[in-house]
Amino acid sequence: MSPPRVIVGIDGSMASFGALDAAATEARLRTAELEVITCVDDPDEAGPVLRAAAARVARRHPGLSVTTAPVVGDPADVLAERGGRAALTVVGSRDLSGIAGLLLHSVSRRLAARTVTPLLVVRGTPLPSRRPSAGGVLLGLESDGDADAALFAFEEAELRRARLDVLHAWTYRQAPPDHRDDRPEPVLDSIERQARDRAALTGGLLMPLRQTSPHLAVNSRTIRSTPCRALIEATAKADMVVIGTHPRPGRSGTELGTVTLALLRHAHCPVAIVPVLAAGIPLRG
């Protein structure tokens, strides 16, 4: 059996070299091979960027198996196809003005909507002095269908020897009247019931993973709040946020949910996106 593979797409920018550093770290943690890809119109133009990337990895991660490849094609198309056979795909993204910023964000967004395997989007340029386990791993739960995202987060926290913080934010929705007497449930009673239901569903999803990782420090919170705002605020103290994505058909192809889009634009740390292939019961009310 061939070793696992981590794929990273670079374009020579500082943001993409930040993604390269993150991908090399992930490959080392997984004892995986690292494949560095750059998409160009002419393969002969890729030499300097790929040589610089290989030298950077060799200097920072001696002994890590690295291959480089120039590929002609759209970066999102190429990485979606190559990533289907990888343990993890990594790309960079940052908020910039002008065409460069739009292109960087467009690749990560389009790839996030199409990926069938985990994708790590590295926002900005990571600080060299920041240790991988300083802030821990943050898992944002949306539904009980997020089991794959939860498993990825547990495994990532174990690889990093970091704590795992689990956050499920939900918004209150008024319950329909009881048809036996058509009287609505009192608001406070409804809020308390929904809070208990959300906590129970979250605990049920995490229980088997806690049992298989008994030594992992796991902190779980279920709060009534706007999911986008709560998760973005929590990323300020995390080294990585993990979420399950639930892409859906839209007018311009596959579209991402509001939480995923918000994290891709505003998260304070890298965003790990784990595709959900089947819908689950919403946890957020």
**What tens digit of pLDDT does each residue of 3-49 get?**
899 999 999 888 899 999 999 999 999 999 999 999 998 888 899 99
Alpha helices (H) in 223-276, listed in sequence order: 227-234, 258-266
**What tens digit of pLDDT does each residue of 65-121 get?**
999 999 999 999 999 999 999 999 999 986 544 434 434 458 888 999 889 999 999
Compute how many other C-beta atoms are within 10 angstroms of the C-beta atom of residue 257.
Answer: 18
User: Residue 75 corresponds to which tokens in the numbers above?
Assistant: 């970066």
Taking the C-alpha atoms of residue 77 and residue 151, their distance in angstroms, rounded to an integer, is 27
More confident residue, 171 or 158: 158
Q: What whole-number percentage of the chain has pLDDT above 70?
A: 77
Contact 83, 47 (CB under 8 A): no
Interacting residues of 100 by C-beta distance below 8 A, sequence separation 6+: 13
Residue entry with tokens 């967004």: 109
Global pTM reads 0.84
Q: What's the rounded mean pLDDT across residues 187-215? A: 78
Backbone angles phi, psi at 57, to 5 degrees: -65, -45
More confident residue, 197 or 201: 201
Sheet holding 240-245, edge to edge: 66-71, 33-39, 5-9, 88-93, 119-123, 271-275, 240-245, 137-140, 164-170, 218-224
Answer yes or no: is pLDDT of 183 > 70.
no
Mean pLDDT for the chain?
83
The predicted structure's pLDDT at residue 126: 54
**What tens digit of pLDDT does each residue of 18-29 get?**
999 999 999 999
Taking the C-alpha atoms of residue 264 and residue 65, their distance in angstroms, rounded to an integer, is 29
Interacting residues of 196 by C-beta distance below 8 A, sequence separation 6+: none
Task: List domains and CATH numbers for the chain.
Answer: 5-123 (3.40.50.620), 137-275 (3.40.50.620)
